[in-house]
Amino acid sequence: MQNTILIFICFFLCHPILHSQEEYTSTPPISGPGSPTYIHDEIVQYDFAQKPHGYWLFEPAAPRPDSANVIVFSHGYGGYNPMIYGQWIKHLVRKGNIVIYPRYQRNMYFPRPRKFSKNVSRAIRDALEKIETGDFVKPITQHLALVGHSYGGVVSADLAVNFEKHNIPKPVAVLLCSPGTGPLRGGILKSYQDMPTDIKLIVIVSKYDRTVGDKFGKKVFETATEVVDRNFIRQYPDGSISPPQNAGHNESYALDRTYDNGKRNFTSRRALRIGKTNNMDYYGYWKIFDALLDCSRSNENCKYAFGNTPEQRFMGLKNDGVPVRELEVILPPMPLQVPISSQ
């Protein structure tokens, strides 16, 4: 088991580097999903992550709301340091959300992956109980949303199917970012057909993901046949800008040392080397997840999340006004239409 995990860790050391000519600065949308139109100026962070079933908690402040919707952010393998996705967490909280960031691993070797979902679900239950009964922003759980990267995507997909078994609120929105297990297998379900029909699901993969590929993401998308609103999105590189838009496994990294808890391993050291915030964050993960949240909560901004629309595919403009390479969107197959026989 330990040797297999070492093989999985080594996958993270291989990341294609593309070269380009044109100097370019990534900038977020001016308004709408993905934009820095914030309603809170500050974030309060709490550390309840001493054990593998622990968690970090982030809540909005300045002004402090009475209540807020809840997002569970499940990190990739070994990513139990919130700094790895810190800019994204900050974006979500300043938009007015509570973020629960489960630890779910003691270290890079323990526990075994089949226990990850158990630890995450316990972290969710414990977090909700603590913030319900303590001096915290009160959680709105009827709009629970899940987002997970890499192995965290596998966990999120499991929770979306088995939320009753895990005794957590039913999620209404799920975003899986480069989900998969690499050479490991723990936590994968035989099928995701039992995912509730009214969940809104988006799977995003990257063209040159050498760590987990797109096999698991495709499996979820293709077997969650009861889910009406689901899209499969593939991101491509664009080497015509500098720094280039890559399309590897860890494009969702958005480094922010403000949230560094000091924990170092292969994953956190890699994030310190390559973690950046760019177009794939602003117009990919952030825009689409913001829109997914709006669509699931109030039926707004759905065109930025679903439907293979120009708004969904758009990845920003280069300096010369030419669009950065767009996202590819795959829609669910249309249901077969049974002809009505003439009488």
Residues 240-280: tens digit of each pLDDT: 988 889 999 999 999 999 999 999 999 999 999 999 999 99
The secondary structure of 244-260 as a DSSP string is: -B--STTTT----GGG-
Domain boundaries, the chain: 2-330
Quick one: CA dihedral 18, 274, 78, 196, positive or negative?
A: negative
Confidence of residue 334 (pLDDT cuts 50, 70, 90): confident
Give the least confident one: 8-12, 63-67, 210-214, 323-327.
8-12
Q: What is the mean pLDDT of residues 284-306?
A: 98
User: Can you give the pLDDT at residue 242?
Assistant: 85
Burial class (CB in 10 A: 0-12, 13-18, 19+), 50: exposed
Instruction: Please write the tens of the pLDDT for every residue from 138-181.
Output: 999 999 999 999 999 999 999 999 999 999 999 999 999 999 99
Nearest residue to 304 via CA among 291, 321, 320? 291
pTM of this prediction exceeds 0.75? yes
Q: Token pair of 279, please? A: 């177009």
The architecture in CATH of the region 2-330 reads: 3-Layer(aba) Sandwich (3.40)
The whole-chain average pLDDT of the chain stands at 93
Cβ count near 332 (within 10 Å): 16
Burial 99-128 (b: 16+ CB within 10 A, else e): bbbbbbbeebeebebebbbbbbbbbbebbb
Q: What is the DSSP letter of 150?
A: T
Q: What is the mean pLDDT of residues 203-223?
A: 98
Is pLDDT above 90 for 43? Answer: yes
